[in-house]
Structure formats: structure tokens, C-alpha cells
């Protein structure tokens, strides 16, 4: 199933409708010494930083070793178009009464050891503009023998918005699905960022009980890409992670000036200062790719109307890749200029298929 790597092609009609700020380095990147912002320089640094992140996230309790409750052979209309043998429901109870509901899709011809996770973004991931690409990504997993889990962000999609009331007496959050709610649950003994990570970690734990894992691949879109980045940084079981239109380093967040994107609650430094003091985005990228055979791919939509447009990535792509390579892994950016929508494009899906095939070949050689 291997072939030539898909070539990124700039859509000339779309490019003509945008100004020079979408194809030139932004002012926010000028003079930034990215090499100094990347503070992980050695394997010992990486191990120390990963452990510190885990301590901060789970407050000394360590990464969860539990598994979700599994209900086998359920009907999920949104997933019926997929070529699957069966679908299981995974339910996880988390602190403060929050529940995660995810779905595990089994291929007709599973290859033992392969497990994938698709992490959806904000809003209803079943909207057509998002749902069709989600199915395309999951189909790409299934056709290559991966069991694949579909995971929504907390409070979004299949997940409930019901939670226990916070300890303080403040007014309720106007939007119950807003992640701004989590600020009121953040405490010295609890980090609300674990709401994003626990469903992924426990699903991988479950998959590991089914069979020894050899290839663990995560694919996140938009807000789900943020989870992909943080999860790959703390969980070395992930061998390939792909983040699409979901993150940027802090120094680029004010670009473009007419539409800055500082991110949702979990993405902002002021929301989780202790976490981001341990590792900012550049260090998280390096951690997600550090280690023999590990790789992370960042796909950015150059003409995205809402998330991280333009070519600001040029200011950090090579320094991050150099550092990841030094530490035994690989990291790369793909500039998707084929469209002008906030989406996982057909080009991104084709790129992902190529990555999976190359990753499987590399894994087989290592074994």
C-alpha cells in the first residue's frame, strides 16, 4: 500500500484571494531565537521533563493504569459508513462527576499490535464538514488493520456536559460545553487537563490488554490536536502522532493581527501556568517525537480561516526537527495550501495514509 509521498500543491485561486501575510514570515516571529526557546537538549532533559509533566498532571498519582468500561457490539449510526467488523462503547468515569464516552471500531482483518486514536475537535464532530474527514481518517486506520478509537473532547460531541457543581459559589458558566468551566475545578490536588488525557490513556491500556502493542498512532484535529500533542509528550507508547490545525507556539499566537488565536482554556499559559512552565509548545513537540522510531507530524492549513494560518511555522519547523533528530526521533511540518477551510483536507488524509504505510515499514524493520 506504499506509494509516492503526496505533494503539497498551492491552490492558486485561493492564494490569490489572500494577502502577503499568508505567505510571508509574520512580524511576531522576527528576531525570535527558537533554539533558545527549546529547552530540552538531552535525553536526560526529556526524561526529567516528561516525569515532571506527569507529576503536575496527576499530582503524584502517576499515569492512569485503569481501563474504561467496555460495552461490546453497539450500534452507532454516525460510524456505520465505516468498513468495520464491530463497534464497542468505552465509558470512563472521571473526577467531579464527568463522564467520557468513546467508541472503539474493529477492522475486519485486525493486525495484532496496531492501535489508533482519532481525536475530534470542538463542537459537534458529526457536522458534515468535520464528520466526512473523520470517517476518512478512521477508514485509513481500519484499512491497515488498526483498531481505532473515536474520542471527543470533554463536554463535546458524544460526551455529557453534566458535572458535579464546583466547590466555589460562583455563577454557572453560560455555555455548559465550554472548557472555560474547568477553571473552577482546577485545584492544588487536581489538574483539569487530565480530562483530555485520561480517555486516551485508558483506551490504550485496554488495547494493550488485547494484544502487545507495536504501533500506537494518534491523529488529532483542531482542539483534538492539542490533546494529541500533550498526550504524545507524556506517553512514549505513541509511535506516530499527527496534529492538524491545532497548536502553535506562544510567540505566534497574536498572528494574524486581525484574527489572533490564543486558544481555548487548556491552550493558554495563564490557565495552566505550572504545566507550561515545565514545557511550552516547542518542548512538547520535541517530547512527542523523542525516542527511537517515534515521529510527530504537524499539518497546518495555510489558508485556515480560524486556526494558525500562514507560514509562521517556518520560524520553528527546522529547529524542532533538529532537536527531535538529535534525541532519536523525527518531527516535521506539512503546509497544506490546497484549500481554505478549517478541516482535515483530502490532501491531509492522503498524507496520513502515506505516513502510516511508511511507519509500518519502519516498525517492521525495527522488529
pLDDT band at 2 (very low <50, low <70, confident <90, very high): low
Which position has the higher pLDDT, 237 or 174? 237
The model's confidence at residue 294, banded by pLDDT at 50, 70 and 90, is very high
Average pLDDT over residues 362-366: 72
Is-contact 124 223, C-beta < 8 A? no
Of 154, 191, 144, the residue nearest 363 (C-alpha): 144
Cβ neighbors of 91 (< 8 A, separation 6 or more) are 68, 69, 71, 99, 100, 101
**Which range, of 10-19, 55-64, 65-74, averages the lowest pLDDT?**
10-19
Residue 362 pLDDT > 90:
no
pLDDT at 19: 81
Highest mean pLDDT among 51-65, 125-139, 256-270: 51-65
Residue ranges of domains in the chain: 12-161+176-366
The mean of the pLDDT values for the chain is: 93
pLDDT in tens, 272-286: 999 999 999 999 999
In this prediction, residue 23 carries a pLDDT of 86
Average pLDDT of 136-148?
A: 97
pLDDT, greater one: 128 or 348: 348
Start-to-end C-alpha separation, the chain: 20
Quick one: which of 320, 309, 348, 77 has its CA closest to 221?
348
Between 115 and 177, the more confident residue is: 115
pLDDT at 49: 98
Confidence of residue 126 (pLDDT cuts 50, 70, 90): low
Residue keyed to cell 532533559: 45
CATH superfamily of 12-161+176-366: Alpha/Beta hydrolase fold, catalytic domain (3.40.50.1820)
Q: How confident is the model at residue 258 (pLDDT cuts 50, 70, 90)?
A: confident
| Banded model confidence at residue 260, pLDDT cuts 50, 70, 90 | confident
- pLDDT score of 127 more than 70: no
What confidence score (pLDDT) does residue 256 get?
82
d(CA 132, CA 318): 32
Amino acid at each position: 500500500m506504499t506509494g509516492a509521498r503526496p505533494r503539497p500543491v498551492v491552490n492558486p485561486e485561493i492564494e490569490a484571494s489572500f494577502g502577503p501575510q499568508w505567505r510571508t514570515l509574520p512580524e511576531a516571529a522576527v528576531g525570535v531565537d527558537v533554539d533558545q526557546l527549546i529547552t530540552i537538549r538531552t535525553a536526560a532533559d526529556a526524561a526529567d521533563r516528561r516525569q515532571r509533566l506527569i507529576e503536575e498532571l496527576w499530582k503524584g498519582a502517576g499515569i492512569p493504569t485503569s481501563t474504561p468500561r467496555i460495552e461490546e457490539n453497539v450500534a452507532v449510526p454516525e460510524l456505520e459508513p465505516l468498513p468495520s467488523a464491530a463497534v464497542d462503547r468505552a465509558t470512563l468515569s472521571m473526577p467531579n462527576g464527568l463522564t467520557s464516552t468513546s467508541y472503539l471500531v474493529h477492522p475486519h482483518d485486525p493486525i495484532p499490535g496496531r492501535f489508533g486514536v482519532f481525536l475530534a475537535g470542538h463542537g459537534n464532530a458529526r457536522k458534515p464538514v468535520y464528520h466526512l474527514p473523520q470517517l476518512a481518517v478512521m477508514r485509513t486506520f481500519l484499512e491497515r488493520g488498526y483498531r481505532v478509537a473515536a474520542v471527543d473532547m470533554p463536554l463535546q460531541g458524544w460526551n455529557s456536559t453534566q458535572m458535579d457543581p464546583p466547590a466555589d459559589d460562583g455563577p454557572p458558566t453560560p455555555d455548559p460545553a465550554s472548557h472555560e468551566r474547568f477553571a473552577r475545578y482546577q485545584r492544588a490536588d487536581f489538574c483539569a487537563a487530565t480530562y483530555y488525557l485520561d480517555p486516551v490513556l485508558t483506551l490504550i491500556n485496554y488495547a494493550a490488554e488485547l494484544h502487545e502493542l507495536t504501533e500506537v498512532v494518534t491523529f488529532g484535529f483542531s482542539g483534538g490536536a492539542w490533546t494529541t500533542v500533550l498526550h504524545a509528550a507524556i506517553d512514549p507508547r505513541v509511535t506516530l502522532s499527527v496534529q492538524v490545525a491545532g497548536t502553535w507556539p506562544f510567540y505566534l499566537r497574536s498572528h494574524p493581527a486581525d484574527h489572533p488565536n490564543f486558544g481555548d482554556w487548556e491552550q493558554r499559559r495563564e490557565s495552566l501556568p505550572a504545566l507550561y512552565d515545565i514545557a511550552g509548545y516547542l518542548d512538547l513537540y520535541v517530547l512527542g517525537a523523542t525516542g527511537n522510531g517515534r515521529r510527530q507530524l504537524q499539518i497546518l492549513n495555510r489558508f485556515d480561516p480560524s486556526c494558525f494560518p500562514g507560514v509562521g511555522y517556518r520560524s520553528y519547523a527546522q529547529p524542532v526537527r533538529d532537536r527531535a533528530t538529535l534525541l532519536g526521533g523525527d518531527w516535521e511540518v506539512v503546509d497544506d495550501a490546497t484549500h481554505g477551510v478549517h478541516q482535515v483536507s483530502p490532501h491531509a488524509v492522503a498524507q496520513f495514509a502515506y505516513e502510516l504505510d511508511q511507519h509500518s515499514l519502519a516498525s517492521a524493520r525495527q522488529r
